[in-house]
Amino acid sequence: MQGRLSAWLVKHGIIHRSLGFDYQGIETLQIKPEDWHSIAVILYVYGYNYLRSQCAYDVAPGGLLASVYHLTRIEYGVDQPEEVCIKVFAPRRNPRIPSVFWVWKSVNFQERESYDMLGIYYDNHPRLKRILMPESWIGWPLRKDYIAPNFYEIQDAH
């Protein structure tokens, strides 16, 4: 089932994949990493001027990583703002997705957290570095195949 935004994107020849609707009726679209930045600019111009949240998750052990963006189209005097969920999947080996910091500044710390926890590189992010883990931390703690270091072995080594 195609939603309103998906139909508009098709009409304008913008490549994407409709993933249907979530439990709240919010349309979910899949965008290829190489198309994400230009589509983000188009969505902003179309009226999706508020990035409500960005998060990321590991789809399956050894599988793809996903970066998820929740956008809202806010217009003056509108009682029910339009929302859309965008999913951008990246390969585990070299997960690179264009940063949308220059479109929505509020994504700054959220993309940094996704980088820190899952190792997704957000190209052209102005300050992509760890935000929760120490800079010396090795690995990506929220990946499903992550093996945590043994705390007691680390303590014994000192």
CATH of residue 118: 3.30.460.80
Does the residue 104 lie in any domain?
Answer: yes
* 88 domain residue, yes or no: yes
User: What per-residue confidence (pLDDT) applies to 158?
Assistant: 52
Residue 11 maps to a domain: yes
Q: How far apart are CA 106 and CA 109, in angstroms?
A: 7
- The pLDDT of residue 150: 74
Specify if 158 maps to a domain: no
| Domains: count for the chain | 1
Confidence (pLDDT) at 22: 93
Residue 126: which domain range? 2-152
* pLDDT of amino acid 96: 98
Query: Does residue 157 belong to any structural domain of this protein?
Result: no
Residue-level pLDDT, tens digit, the chain, 158 residues: 688 899 999 999 999 999 999 999 999 999 999 999 999 999 999 999 999 999 999 999 999 999 999 999 987 767 788 999 999 999 999 999 999 999 999 999 999 999 999 999 999 999 999 999 999 999 999 999 998 877 655 555 55
Residue 151: predicted pLDDT = 62
Structure tokens at 118: 């899952």
Question: At 33, is the secondary structure helix, strand, or coil?
Answer: helix
pTM of this structure: 0.91
Residue 128 lies in a domain: yes
What's the confidence (pLDDT) of residue 123? 98
Beta strands in the chain (DSSP E): 17-21, 27-30, 50-58, 65-73, 82-90, 96-98, 121-123
Tokens 């939603």 locate to 3
**CB-CB neighbours of 77 under 10 Å:** 4
DSSP character at residue 116: H
Instruction: Kindly state the helix (H) or strand (E) to which residue 120 belongs, with its residue range.
Output: none
